[in-house]
Amino acid sequence: MKITDTFDVDCEVDAVWALFEDLPELAQCLPGAELTEHHDDGRCAGQVEAKLGPITATFDGEATVVSDTATRTGTVSGKGVDRRGGSRAQLTVAYKLLEIEGGTRVTVDADVVLSGAAAQFGRIGLLKEMTGKIIGEFVQCVEAKLSAPTPEAAAEVHAGDVKGISLLLSSMVAPLVRLFNRVFRRN
């Protein structure tokens, strides 16, 4: 599944880029993620907990991050396995930071491949809804880290959890809201 998103961060591009280069700190802004190993060459290992409707999958995996400071771009390639449920995930993400008036625009292009039980519950609508909530939580965390008064205070900022049941309910309600909006806009 392809996911493309763009979001703005209310901080200067150099500060946002510095945070993107600090993988242990940045990982704290990804809901459900825990970095367990980080190497200077961009390789890392960790866990990502994903709540897809009625199931929760904890993917143990590894990723490689390659970044280019001159263009403020990077790629993340990773894979993981949920040993309990047998699901597998592969992820490729390309990101770019651009300076805009009043902050930074971040563009993300991701390709996510799920197999196993996660793929059965990971409908496109649900995954897009989950992605939107994760990105919203990520942006709030990044802005909070960058506006913290001290490095110690920034280190205490972590992303919250994206709740599976609320996500399931919102993914079921969202199409109804869109339908009502279309119907009432026509009238």
Count other C-beta atoms under 10 Å from residue 55's C-beta: 18
> Domain-by-domain residue ranges, the chain?
2-186
Count other C-beta atoms under 10 Å from residue 103's C-beta: 17
pLDDT band at residue 167 using 50, 70 and 90 as cut-offs: very low
Residue 174 CA to residue 129 CA, distance in Å, equals 9
Residue 42 CA to residue 68 CA, distance in Å, equals 12
3-class DSSP assignment, residue 154: helix
Indicate the fold that domain 2-186 takes in CATH: Alpha-D-Glucose-1,6-Bisphosphate; Chain A, domain 4 (3.30.530)
Residue 66 CA to residue 110 CA, distance in Å, equals 15
pLDDT band at residue 131 using 50, 70 and 90 as cut-offs: low
Question: Could you read off the pLDDT of 110-129 as tens digits, one per residue?
Answer: 888 878 776 665 555 666 66
pLDDT score of 16: 93
Per-residue tokens: 105 = 């625009």
Q: Which residue has the tokens 């119907």?
A: 183
